[in-house]
Amino acid sequence: MPDGPINTEGLPAIRAGSARVEITPPLGTALAGYFSPRVSEGVISELMAKAVVVGEGEGRVAIVACDLITMTAEVSGPAREKIERETGIRGNRVLICSTHTHTGPELRPNRPIKRNEEWFATLPGLIADAAIAAAGKQRASAN
Would you state the torsion angle of the CA atoms of residues 124, 126, 127, 132, taken in this order, to the nearest 10 degrees? Answer: 120
Summarised one tens digit per residue, pLDDT across range 46-79 is: 999 999 999 999 999 999 999 999 999 999 999 9
Helix (H, G, I), strand (E, B) or coil at 17: strand
Of all residues in the chain, what percent carry a pLDDT higher than 90?
Answer: 73
Summarised one tens digit per residue, pLDDT across range 78-98 is: 999 999 999 999 999 999 999
Residues 6+ apart with CB under 8 A from 38: 30, 31
Decide if 17 contacts 52 (C-beta within 8 A).
yes
Using alpha carbons, select from 27, 39, 36, 51 the residue that is nearest to residue 133: 51
Enter the pTM of the model. Answer: 0.89
CA R_g for the chain: 18
The answer to whether residue 35 scores a pLDDT higher than 60 is: yes
